[in-house]
Structure 1
Amino acid sequence: MNSNKQNIIQLKNVIATRLTPLIDNDFILLDIPNHRNIGDSLIWKGEVEFFKTLQHKCIGQYNRYTFKKSDIKSDKTIILLHGGGNFGDIYESSQSFKKYIIERFPNNKIIILPQTVHYNSEANLKRDFAIFNGHHDLYIFVRDLISYDIIKENFNGEKLKLAPDMAFFLDFDSDIRNTETLKNLYLNRTDAEAIKDSFQNVIEGEYDIKDWPTYNSSSQRLNIISNYIEALDGKLSNVIKYFPGSSLIIDNAYGFKKKNGMDLHINRGKEFINQYHKVYTTRLHGLILSILLDKEVVILDNVYGKSKNFYDAWLKDFNNVKLYVKNES
């Protein structure tokens, strides 16, 4: 059994206690991640597991390219927007989709599932919340106190909620492996949130430096090709969804991709983490997946403190989870 089992159960209870009462009708999940980020697949799977505990039904799941306004047929349908770390001005396509939904569905209850918030521009923040504050029944869940404070200054505090990441609704106890290797992993993100500093002097013993295995980090060319394929899938889905019989060609969740992509990504992530004795990670979901697989993990953080802020909010009592703090002296 996971050495953090009770701590994980407590986080699940926080989510259920704060989120379940708001979902008082059938609902739809939007902006699900039709891409290679294993972390987003973990969040999505956690959301799906959470839905199994609810009295009301999920009547559809759409990514931002397959969704049509006509897919929501009633003002009573609750709209859930996928959680993660894309609230702000780093990931423009996801933020623009949030604004589109909030403006187009003024009479539906909308719940943004637990997010990390980050803005590089105060002007962008003010512009976004001019839209968000125009909706009378919008709830925003955030994953850390820094995000909470950012939104509290700009939004109705009664509809702002603090909750852990939805991936904590996953149970991977049967996947826990006591590996014989002493090799460690330095899971170093290579995307827009990557930090410039190297942490290699922090890592003990023999180790590999890798990003998620879905990112082809050993071949920049393959990674670029994969990015183009994902972009093309979205563009084609966005056009073909309006054709008669489009549902026979594209899947609402996966577009033109394999219909089990979420589970494939998660399985690759579990196999990847389970190869190592100890994990040093700049990815939040490298941290969360390592906890779910009962690995010793050291938090190195991303460029704006996402993982540190999450640790401060929820993980201080967890076993074998340490936060690296750089010595400035």
Structure 2
Amino acid sequence: MPLETPPVLIARLQDMIHDCLKDYVRADEPLAILDFPDIRNCGDSAIWLGEMAYLKDRYGKRPAYVSRMRDFSAEDLERAVPTGPIFIHGGGNFGDLWITHQDFRERVLEQFPNRRIIQFPQSIHYKSQERRERSARIIGRHKNFVLLVRDEESKAFAEKHFDCEVRLCPDMAFCIGALEPEASEFPVLAMLRADLEKAGDVDRSAYPDIPMEDWITESARQVRVAKAIGAASALLALKPAEVRLRKLDAAAHNRFRRGIRQISRGRAIVTDRLHVHICSLLIGRPHAVLDNSYGKIRRFMAAFSGGSDLSYKATSLDDGIGWARQAAAVAA
């Protein structure tokens, strides 16, 4: 199969997303989106903005109710969205690695047994059979749950263990579309995880000339700016639900812009983060990809994005940096 340029790849995946979601969204029906990612990880904000972009571009609509985990109200949701689907934010937290998100999603399934609930695309990973079986019981009782997954392995797992509709769907961040990068500062930038999903320890001292960073740090000023934007919306006499949505959107845009500025600094990038891979495609930057702790990135690339002429599947950090140095020299 010939390699795809980023514009061709992005357009193809956007069409695949619409093919998955068009059965669950109607222009004349309200919907809710739960579990806004109020966290510092720019990738989660990219997913959220893709979800918003999809609704706006395809249907000209916005959700009638959104919430974070901590301020979710079943009563407010029922009031704002008495009919229509309930969506849960996508990502890579379906399973028992990031347990608070799984607890929340299962609580929503139990609270709304008669409503259609659609899980935006997720990667699945369980370590505990007991926890997997608990999830299966809750999903099995619901009967109207749609689980969208981001790779074939997650699809096979869900079809084997869960009694629900399962569909393969690309990550929602592709709905943001192509972006212009900012000016680069370094030939190579390494964006490497330091959390539960890191593939292993790396010897960062072996490459003193290469910045090695992550994108989960934000300043207090950045948080204040997002809150100020949200507060300004309240002065426009908008409905509380719209004020909340504007505030959360402002936070997501702020984090996403921070991430794009950060990765744009490298003419070529080495990463073990899925959304650094996706955002590198959106800005058209060459990048070498290492996997995370449980294979999420390679699984996603095998299903959707591995045919880009900008991506290289590295076998090690040394291999990735070697490839990225060559790509940076060509791009200079």
TM-score (norm 1): 0.81
Write the distance in 2 (CA, Å) between the matches of 1:183 and 1:56: 41
Counterpart pick for 2:136 among 129, 134, 157: 129
Q: Which residue of 1 aligns with 2:200?
A: 196
Question: What SS does the aligned partner of 1:29 have?
Answer: strand
Write the distance in 2 (CA, Å) between the matches of 1:279 and 1:97: 34
Q: Which amino acid aligns with 1:6?
A: V
Cα displacement (A) at 1:131: 0.2
Contact 2:120 2:148 in 1 (8 A): yes
Counterpart pick for 1:35 among 32, 39, 55: 39
Q: Which residue of 2 aligns with 1:21?
A: 23
Write the distance in 2 (CA, Å) between the matches of 1:59 and 1:291: 31
Q: Which residue of 2 aligns with 1:277?
A: 267
Write the distance in 2 (CA, Å) between the matches of 1:297 and 1:202: 20
- Going from structure 1 to structure 2, the CA distance change for 1:116 and 1:60 (only over 3 Å counts) comes to same
- Going from structure 1 to structure 2, the CA distance change for 1:156 and 1:36 (only over 3 Å counts) comes to same
Cα displacement (A) at 1:120: 1.0
Counterpart pick for 2:9 among 7, 10, 17: 7
Identity, in percent, stands at 28
Contact 1:4 1:291 in 2 (8 A): yes
Computed over aligned residues only, the root mean square deviation of the Cα atoms, in angstroms, reads: 2.9
* 1:39-78 CA distance string (max 9 Å, x none): 0000000000001112765211111111111022365221
- After TM superposition, the structure 1 stretch with the greater mean CA deviation from structure 2, 117-126 or 15-24, is 15-24
Question: What SS does the aligned partner of 1:86 have?
Answer: strand
Pair 1:114 & 2:117 matched: no
Q: Which residue of 2 aligns with 1:163?
A: 169
Cα displacement (A) at 1:30: 0.5
Q: How does 1:186-225 map to 2 (within 5 A)?
A: 186-198=190-202, 206-212=209-215, 214=217
Cα displacement (A) at 1:258: 7.7
Runs of 4+ aligned structure 1 residues displaced above 6 Å come to none
Q: Which amino acid aligns with 1:63?
A: R
Q: Which residue of 1 aligns with 2:276?
A: 286
Pair 1:80 & 2:90 matched: no
Q: Which has the higher helix share?
A: 2
Q: Which residue of 1 aligns with 2:48?
A: 44
- Number of aligned residue pairs: 294
Segments of structure 1 that go 5 or more residues without pairing to the other structure are 217-221, 227-246
Cα displacement (A) at 1:310: 0.7
Q: Which amino acid aligns with 2:217?
A: T
Segments of structure 2 that go 5 or more residues without pairing to the other structure are 224-238, 318-332
* 1:161-181 CA distance string (max 9 Å, x none): 1011000001243x23463x4
Question: What SS does the aligned partner of 2:277 have?
Answer: helix
Counterpart pick for 2:181 among 176, 200, 211: 176
Contact 2:121 2:170 in 1 (8 A): yes
Write the distance in 2 (CA, Å) between the matches of 1:36 and 1:148: 28
Q: Which amino acid aligns with 1:191?
A: D
Counterpart pick for 2:63 among 53, 58, 61: 58
Write the distance in 1 (CA, Å) between the matches of 2:75 and 2:48: 23
- Going from structure 1 to structure 2, the CA distance change for 1:56 and 1:20 (only over 3 Å counts) comes to farther
Q: Which amino acid aligns with 2:83?
A: K
Cα displacement (A) at 1:325: 2.6
Contact 1:189 1:211 in 2 (8 A): yes
Q: Which residue of 2 aligns with 1:141?
A: 148
Q: Which amino acid aligns with 1:65?
A: R
Q: How does 1:232-247 map to 2 (within 5 A)?
A: none
Question: What SS does the aligned partner of 1:214 have?
Answer: coil
